[in-house]
Amino acid sequence: MAPTLRIASGLLAAATAVSGASWIPSFMTKDVVIIGGGAGGGYAAVRLKEDFHKDIVVVEKASKLGGHVSTYTDPASGKSFDYGVQNFNNYGPAAAFFQRLGVSTGPAPPRIPLATQYADFTTGAQVNWTAPDAAARSAALATFLNVTAPWEDLFIPGWTNFPQPNQIPADLLLPFRDFVTKHNLHAIVNQVFQVTGSGAGNMMDALTLYVLSAFGQPMIKTFLGQLGALYTASGRNIEVYEKIGQRLGNAVLYNSVVTSSIRTSLFHTIFVKNQVTGKTTVIFTKKLLIAIQPTPANTEPLNLDVYEQSVLSKFNWQTVHAGLVSHPSLPINGSVVNMPAAAAPDNYLVLPTVDYNIRFDYFGQNLFRVLMVGDKNFSKAKAQQLIRNTVSKLIQAGTLPASTAQVQFPAWADHGPMHMHVTKQELQNGFIQKLNSLQGRRDTWWTGGAFSHQFQALIWAFNDLLLPQLVAA
């Protein structure tokens, strides 16, 4: 820590202690301030603290760590339901990290066999759509693996090895629809969409690069049985982040956001406000690790310079919600899948377009999981209204039995901006190189989904590449 920084913070801390006034901010000095305690920030915090012996603090907006991990415990039965993150790819450091945290793994929880029916959620009408048979799906999946294999190292676990603009493989810049047609992958489109590819939004129009970011080699290998997945034995995925929270102790400022910052070449001054108590903490630090989605709203207090703004402003994104809903018309042991009428009887290139709910899946008790993807303005209010409207339409069209009951929302997670992406033109203008050039610039590093991919274990593996650079700088 720079001597000036140490003296300044010492004086301020002494002033606080002497006055004892609660409205006076707290002051602290840290080696690294980490903003966001989800997959990127939570993992980085453990490694920086325990492996690199850095004095760190995590600024986390929520009252818990873990970001997209959403574990709902039913108050009546005490039973837990993971309606956010389902499992962790057994990729890179994931298994060792579970072991280190003392999180026991177990078999995949038994799946309730669901009777699937297809309906167009824009009208509620049933759609007679025939899924490709298992042999066709397996064959297409194997082709998908072969075709994409040469590109795995180009962007997994992060974009570090991404080729120069004039060397980007042309297939990666094709709309996914054209890529599917070119390689005859029709039989796996629905599977890609239903599992994680929906994060790409209007998936058939998205660049293949970004569909692979949402459903890439690790997922293909998982479905081909070549890569395992880790499940918590407790059946509560939040356990991973509870254990991280226990290890970090008071190195996490919960319910807290950065309100403003001064970033200089000597040190950064980060002003943090606890949204529950109103208390301000001023943190002096040499290094900053930003582990939140780099949207304008999130980065506004981070005193971005013109270059940082010019790079990050190119990002667009989807907004994602997941929830557990109840309604007596929804079928116990059933799955009602959103399928546009134009997909009947077997057009595999037609998918729902944003804003949408992918499906209602029976999850146990009287709970149905919904997974929703929308544009930048897809608020929680809009998402829940879409669920109400869809249930009404399904009833009016006779797809679901009649009921005047209201939809209940026992658990809901607004996952906010996800799947950051740019246009083909920006990629050809060197966007990824510019994104990579932010690492270490202004003593600031960036992690999380926008700099890696939307999978826990991939982000952890990306951190393993990034953190030594942060420490060495």
Ligand X SMILES: Cc1cc2nc3c(=O)[nH]c(=O)nc-3n(C[C@H](O)[C@H](O)[C@H](O)COP(=O)(O)OP(=O)(O)OC[C@H]3O[C@@H](n4cnc5c(N)ncnc54)[C@H](O)[C@@H]3O)c2cc1C
Binding to ligand X by CB under 6 A, coded x per residue (else -) over 210-249, reads: ----------------------------------------
Q: Which stretch binds ligand X (CB under 6 A): 83-91, 304-312, 354-362, 428-436?
A: 83-91
Per the document, the length of the chain is: 473
**103 binds ligand X per the rule CB under 6 A:** no
Q: Is 454 in the site for ligand X (CB under 6 A)?
A: yes
Q: Is 31 in the site for ligand X (CB under 6 A)?
A: no
**Scanning residues 413 to 452, which ones bind ligand X (CB under 6 A)?**
415, 448-449
CB of 171 to ligand X, least distance (A): 24
Work out whether 40 is an interface residue with ligand X (CB under 6 A): yes
Binding segment (CB under 6 A) for ligand X, from list 61-69, 339-347, 384-392, 422-430: 61-69
Q: In what order do the strands lie in the sheet with 105-106?
A: 88-89, 229-232, 105-106
Interface with ligand X, residue 39, by CB under 6 A: yes
Pairing label, strands 56-59, 71-73: unpaired
Q: Which is nearer to ligand X, 71 or 399 (CB)?
A: 71
Residue 84 touching ligand X (CB under 6 A):
yes
The smaller minimum CB distance to ligand X, of residues 413 and 432, is found at 413
Contacting residues for 436 by C-beta, under 8 A, at least 6 apart: 159, 160, 162
Least CB distance from residue 84 to ligand X, whole Å? 5
Q: Does residue 294 belong to the site contacting ligand X (CB under 6 A)? A: no
Shortest separation between residue 125's beta carbon and ligand X, angstroms? 27
Distance between CA 321 and CA 70 in Å, rounded? 11
Minimum CB separation of residue 325 from ligand X in Å reads 14
Closest approach, Cβ 471 to ligand X, in A, equals 19
Residue 132 is a binding residue for ligand X (CB under 6 A)? no
As measured in angstroms, the least distance from the Cβ of 85 to ligand X is 4
Q: Is 368 left (phi over 0), alpha (psi -120 to 50) or beta?
A: beta
Distance of CA 185 to the CA centre of its chain: 26
Q: Which of 322, 330, 336, 411: binder of ligand X (CB under 6 A)?
A: 322
CB atoms within 10 A of CB 168: 18
Residue 85 binds ligand X (CB under 6 A): yes
Closest distance to ligand X from the beta carbon of 467 (Å): 14
Give contact residues for ligand X (rule: CB under 6 A): 35-41, 59-62, 67-68, 84-89, 257, 291-292, 298, 320, 322, 371, 415, 448-449, 454-457, 459
